[in-house]
Structure 1
Amino acid sequence: MYTTIMTNIITIICILIVAFSLIWISYMYRKSDSEKEQEKKLGEEDKKNDEN
């Protein structure tokens, strides 16, 4: 009885850690993508300013 409860708790903790890490990785990946897009926009604005 006690061992099954412990294994269930450990399994739940592992699932939570994996889920959290996947969410964190996808969040950081999206964040880096949005930063790259902002840099592209800034680069285009700089080119327009140079032309004027």
Structure 2
Amino acid sequence: MWVLAWNNPSLHTPERRKTWLACEEHREHLSAFLGARGFLKDVVALAEWESR
């Protein structure tokens, strides 16, 4: 599983992160969706996200 951390700069403060979980199959598609809008901030493995 992957964590896609994002925010909408017109709605959220720069440090705020919303998250979506994605399986390997959908990670690239969802990353492209968020990236095209300028929302994607980080993509990390779930285990790494939980250890932060």
TM-score (norm 2): 0.27
Higher RCO (Cα < 8 Å, 6 or more apart): 2
Higher strand proportion: 2
Answer with 1 or 2: which has the greater Rg. 1
